[in-house]
Amino acid sequence: MEQANSVRPDGEPKAGILAHLEGLEAQMSRPCKRSKELQQARAEESALGTKIHELRRLRDKLRAEVNQQRARGKASSANVESGQTVEIGEQEVLERKQESVKAILQAYRFTGLSGKQTSRGVCVCISTAFEGNLLDSYFVDLVIQRPLWIHHHSIPVFIPLEKIAAKYLQTDVQRFLFSLCESLNAYAGRKYQADRLQSDFAAFLIRPLQRNSLCNLLSFTYKVDLMGQSSFCARLLYKDLTATLPTDATVTYQGTEALSALREEQRASHEALFCTKPLHQVFASFAREEELDLSLAS
């Protein structure tokens, strides 16, 4: 005998229908399950983020407390041992200055600065030059103490050593040496030009060259045409003591005849030459013109 209701009127078994319904139900439940898993993951992520933020806040708080304790400890130690700390601090400053001077001398050994360490500090030698010609050398004996001071030196009295030292020695040793070197080289360059004019071009000078000790004011009367009677008087002023070319050049005509257009042109060109070329180079050009005129005349 067949089991009752085992087959539907349309002939489909009941078991197949239930299985189909269960499959549909499973398919519908999958998205819901994934949505719940996603929500759960987001909730866990949010909780972790909150926890991380809280841990960072606690870390920063602890770090600040540690820094405060260290600062209080250092302040307390400084108050207890203030005298010793000041002494050590000054010693460190002096050692750093000494190392700075050594580094400067090493850096400038190819630019005219050299030196050696002494029992008191360091002795710096400044060698001057102009146009590749080595000129005079000077020395400064520095005592590395607090404050730094100059024990001996061979700097000429007209070089503003005290002014440069007051401005830079205690705050910037490198700037002090550089400024001093710059002033000495400029003086040596001006002196070199004046010496060359007197020794190599004396035939062009009507009267001896006049100059001051710093060689920043030169005055001389000269002629361009060695066979002529016309002459010029030049006054060169070097306002910048670190320069080897004059800042002001004044040339006046000294001839017996009236100032012609040609002489005025010469006078103006000489003023421009004195401000743009070294003194001995200007007179070297005068000599070449004289030689050219003599060759044309012969």
The mean pLDDT value for 227-234 works out to 82
- 230-267 burial string, b = 16+ CB within 10 Å, else e? bbbebbbebeebeebbbeebebebeeeeeeeeebeebb
Rg of the chain in Å (alpha carbons) = 46
Residue 1 has pLDDT above 50, yes or no: no
Write the CA distances from 189 to 181, 203, 238, 270, 291, integer angstroms: 12, 22, 12, 20, 27
Q: Which pLDDT band, with edges at 50, 70 and 90, does 249 fall under?
A: very high
Position 110 scores a pLDDT of 43
Q: Which residue has the higher pLDDT, 4 or 281?
A: 281
Q: Which residue has the higher pLDDT, 118 or 292?
A: 118
> pTM of whole model > 0.85?
no
Q: Which of 288, 215, 278, 218 is nearest to 251 (CA)?
A: 218
Q: Which residue has the higher pLDDT, 296 or 100?
A: 100
Answer for the pair 159, 144: CB distance below 8 angstroms, yes or no: no
Q: Which pLDDT band, with edges at 50, 70 and 90, does 213 fall under?
A: very high
Position 279 scores a pLDDT of 96
The mean pLDDT value for 37-57 works out to 71
- pLDDT, one tens digit per residue, over 17-30 is 767 667 766 666 66
Position 16 scores a pLDDT of 65
Which residues fall within 8 angstroms of residue 173, CB to CB, at 6 or more apart?
97, 100, 101, 104, 142, 148
Answer for the pair 114, 125: CB distance below 8 angstroms, yes or no: yes
Position 63 scores a pLDDT of 79
Position 70 scores a pLDDT of 79
DSSP string, 28-73: HHHHHHHHHHHHHHHHHHHHHHHHHHHHHHHHHHHHHHHHHHHHHH
Position 127 scores a pLDDT of 92
- pLDDT, one tens digit per residue, over 80-124 is 555 555 555 666 766 666 666 555 555 444 456 787 888 888 899
CATH code of the domain occupying 87-188: 3.30.457
Residue 2 has pLDDT above 50, yes or no: no
The mean pLDDT value for 288-292 works out to 73
The mean pLDDT value for 232-240 works out to 96
The torsion angles phi and psi of 206, rounded to 5 degrees, stand at -85, -40
Write the CA distances from 254 to 77, 82, 184, 229, 232, integer angstroms: 81, 75, 35, 9, 5
Q: Which residue has the higher pLDDT, 22 or 9?
A: 22
Which residues fall within 8 angstroms of residue 266, CB to CB, at 6 or more apart?
224, 232
Question: Which position has the token pair 């910048």?
Answer: 240
The torsion angles phi and psi of 88, rounded to 5 degrees, stand at -65, -40
The mean pLDDT value for 277-294 works out to 83
β pairing state of 232-237 and 210-211? unpaired
Q: Which pLDDT band, with edges at 50, 70 and 90, does 6 fall under?
A: very low
Position 159 scores a pLDDT of 95
Which residues fall within 8 angstroms of residue 255, CB to CB, at 6 or more apart?
229, 230, 231, 263
- pLDDT, one tens digit per residue, over 184-212 is 999 999 999 999 999 999 999 998 999 99
Domain range list for the chain: 87-188, 201-297
Share the mean pLDDT of the chain: 80
- pLDDT, one tens digit per residue, over 130-168 is 998 999 999 999 998 888 899 999 999 999 999 999 999
HSE-CB at 120 with a 13 A cutoff on CA atoms is 13
